[in-house]
Structure 1
Amino acid sequence: MKTKFNLLVLLVLIVAYSCSNSNNKDYIPDEEIDLSSDALLTDDSPLGEMPEYSQIRGGASDVIDRSFENSPPLIPHKVNGILPITAEDNKCLRCHMPDLAPRFEATPLPATHFTSYRPKMKRNNDGIYAFEEGDNEMVEKDLGHFNPAMYNCSQCHVPQSNATVDIDNVFNAEFRNSGNKNRSSLKKKLGEGVND
């Protein structure tokens, strides 16, 4: 029994040693990985001032240009008391449902949020699920109601802050249509390249 225990301890030590990379010549300490000279795993790096998020109430804020064509719109208003979205409550829907949006001067949810793009699946005799339509078929079904797959708004839409960084942004957004800076053409363009 004691021999088995000693062998088990020896095996654990061998595995632990073989998993460590401190003797690896390619090992790079975390202080040398980042652009800053501070350790990555500490909270000691100076952030300067914390960024501030918009405190403008919904309906009073200006629409922010999209980051790129058909990107999800950014949240231009304050989100205090709105986030987090939970299974029990999504306060975004109180203002952004198409029938309510004009009353709150909010952007109404687009048609894509009332459409399902998920293909129908069927189970074959082997118990394996496969597409009911072909692999390259574009699936688009108007649900006639809000698509629950779109329920977690903050998964795609994010509030903006006044954060400043010391890294230049060299990204240059290009839009095929200048109107797409403030609106989406996603529903029309969703199948681009699928059936070409």
Structure 2
Amino acid sequence: MKSRVLLGATLFGLFALGPTLAADQSLGPDRMGLSPMSVFEVPTPEVFTYPNTRPGSAGTLPRGFPGAPPQVPHRIDNYLPITMQSNRCLGCHDDLEMIGEAREVGDPTPMPETHYMQAEGQMVPSGENHVCTMCHVPQADVPALTGSTF
């Protein structure tokens, strides 16, 4: 009997006092997200344009982290949309003979062997890697919307 009364009093205390204790630890809408503004506001990024860099005129960009896909150092707006049927990236970067070879400044980086598959006795670009911009992105000098510790 005593244990039931004790259990009942404990449950009543949790249900009665719980919301008041939780209210003290709540966050306001301006502290819930990564952005320094309310989660109910939509940040508007600054308008920017990609640098007017032509293919072959830029060097290799640094990778964001070890193993990250290379960044695209030139404009790609004239190459879009990139699909399996229309991929203008292959015109410069589909060169099996250049894989592992020394390149001169301005030479295109060849696709790695991981982007190819064996088909009918030949190495051909893999259908799984036909939309280059899923991993490789062009760069623009713009401020980040939020901070990062990555």
- TM-score when normalising by structure 2: 0.61
Deviation of the 1:162 alpha carbon: 0.6
**1:164-195: CA deviation from partner (whole Å, max 9, x where unpaired):** 23866554xxxxxxxxxxxxxxxxxxxxxxxx
Letter in 1 for 2:128: A
Identical residues among aligned pairs (%): 28
**For residue 38 of structure 1, what is the aligned residue in structure 2?**
37
Letter in 2 for 1:59: G
SS class of match (2:128)? helix
SS class of match (2:51)? coil
Deviation of the 1:147 alpha carbon: 0.9
**1:93-142: CA deviation from partner (whole Å, max 9, x where unpaired):** 1221106988x8311111111147xxxxxxxxxxxxxxxxxxxxxxxxx9
CA contact (8 A) 1:54 1:76 kept: no
Letter in 1 for 2:109: T
* 1:84–1:41 distance in 2 versus 1, CA, 3 Å: farther
Deviation of the 1:38 alpha carbon: 3.3
Higher Cα radius of gyration: 2
**Separation of aligned partners in 1, 2:134 and 2:66:** 18
**Deviation >3 Å, runs of 4+:** 25-32, 35-43, 99-102, 165-171
* 1:27–1:83 distance in 2 versus 1, CA, 3 Å: farther
**For residue 163 of structure 1, what is the aligned residue in structure 2?**
142
**For residue 62 of structure 1, what is the aligned residue in structure 2?**
59
Letter in 2 for 1:160: Q
Structure 1: which 5+ runs fail to align?
A: 1-24, 117-141, 172-196
* 1:170–1:37 distance in 2 versus 1, CA, 3 Å: closer
**Separation of aligned partners in 2, 1:159 and 1:72:** 11
**Separation of aligned partners in 1, 2:52 and 2:123:** 34
1:146 to 114, 125, 132: 125
- Number of residue pairs aligned between Structure 1 and Structure 2: 120
